[in-house]
Chain A
């Protein structure tokens, strides 16, 4: 009987009998400036489809964010401003939410207006981009699909503005 009770306790408390043996593995290769931005194509949370390949010829900012990431949330209105300012000049922002569920992201999107597409990321998506193991994380992609800049952590908005403005100059006026 005591064994049965012990097993029930284990089940209740979510404790497996022993720690699973897990062998260390190599982290995915990190992306670097000059690499081709990994292709992705998926439905966004606004009811459209987003295909990175279809953005060739534009400067694209891929913004990995999450509802739980305070500095990410702070940046969103500024990204919206950049989208408004440069959207007609060949700039496209896309948000990749690393929330654990679409519902969480949608709840945030009800509170904060987004004027650019937001797709839901996951661990596979994170690994595709070299491991998204901390936020904020942004990739600036040039018109040729190659990564122009990678920004990790909190970033002064001026750095973002300058980077985007410089990239847009390479594709000329709208």
Chain B
């Protein structure tokens, strides 16, 4: 296979339109059925069956603490973040379980999570789970004693 034949494919990948950005408050539109509670995800991690997990919030928060093995995708309220999210998950089968989370702010005020969810839907993922963090990552994950890793 010649590299030249891949150019149109690579170009198409980069030009796939990003999902429309979401505004704070849009998290309330994320269906309850796709939300996963912290205790439930923690149990999955404990069982050693961790799905791909992506943090779609801000770098400073990720560096301080994130779910072990969670990848940093970047903020869902920025085009760069959505593009980065896309690049992280594009090679995954669309029926694979993928978890996204933010936790920068109270759920209903989060500027990132709804846009990231919409992006995953637009890409055709059928088993996306969105970690429901009512207050923030610190209060609803770290303070509960669930596992974290630090650093970027």
A residues touching B (Cβ–Cβ < 8 Å)? 1-2, 5, 8-9, 12-15, 19-20, 22-25, 27, 30, 66, 68-71, 98-100, 121-123, 126-127, 131-135, 152-154
Q: Which of B105, B142, B150 contacts A135 (CB 8 A)?
A: B105
Q: Bound state CA distance, A24 and B152, in angstroms?
A: 14
Which residue of B is nearest A30, CB measured?
Answer: B143
Is A98 a contact of B61 with CB atoms below 8 Å?
yes
Question: What chain B residues lie within 8 Å of A9 (beta carbons)?
Answer: 91
B residues touching A (Cβ–Cβ < 8 Å)? 1, 3, 6, 10, 24, 58-61, 63-65, 68-69, 71, 75, 77, 84, 87-88, 90-91, 103-106, 109, 111-112, 135-139, 142-143, 147-152
**Mind listing 26 A-B residue pairs with CB under 8 Å?**
A9-B91, A14-B87, A19-B71, A23-B149, A25-B148, A27-B65, A66-B58, A68-B75, A69-B111, A70-B24, A70-B109, A71-B105, A71-B109, A98-B58, A100-B59, A122-B63, A127-B150, A131-B64, A131-B142, A133-B65, A133-B136, A133-B138, A134-B61, A152-B136, A153-B139, A154-B106
Distance between A151 CB and nearest chain B CB, rounded to angstroms = 12
Is A134 a contact of B105 with CB atoms below 8 Å?
yes
Distance between B1 CB and nearest chain A CB, rounded to angstroms = 7
Distance between A109 CB and nearest chain B CB, rounded to angstroms = 17
Is B59 a contact of A27 with CB atoms below 8 Å?
no
A-B contact number at CB 8 A: 122
Question: What chain A residues lie within 8 Å of B106 (beta carbons)?
Answer: 71, 134, 153-154
Is B1 a contact of A100 with CB atoms below 8 Å?
no
Chain A interface mostly helix, strand, loop or mixed?
loop
Q: Bound state CA distance, A128 and B24, in angstroms?
A: 29
Q: Bound state CA distance, A123 and B72, in angstroms?
A: 15
Q: Bound state CA distance, A126 and B84, in angstroms?
A: 25
- Using known A-B contacts A24-B148, A123-B64, A132-B64, determine if residue A5 contacts B1 with beta carbons closer than 8 Å: yes
Distance between A24 CB and nearest chain B CB, rounded to angstroms = 4
- Which of B60, B142, B143 has most A Cβ within 10 Å? B60
Is A123 a contact of B135 with CB atoms below 8 Å?
no
Is B60 a contact of A123 with CB atoms below 8 Å?
yes
- Using known A-B contacts A12-B10, A22-B69, A134-B137, determine if residue A68 contacts B60 with beta carbons closer than 8 Å: no
Is B87 a contact of A15 with CB atoms below 8 Å?
yes
Q: Bound state CA distance, A75 and B3, in angstroms?
A: 54
Is B60 a contact of A5 with CB atoms below 8 Å?
no
Q: Bound state CA distance, A5 and B7, in angstroms?
A: 12
Question: What chain A residues lie within 8 Å of B88 (beta carbons)?
Answer: 13-15
- Using known A-B contacts A5-B3, A22-B149, A24-B149, determine if residue A135 contacts B104 with beta carbons closer than 8 Å: yes
- Using known A-B contacts A25-B148, A27-B65, A133-B64, determine if residue A70 contacts B111 with beta carbons closer than 8 Å: yes
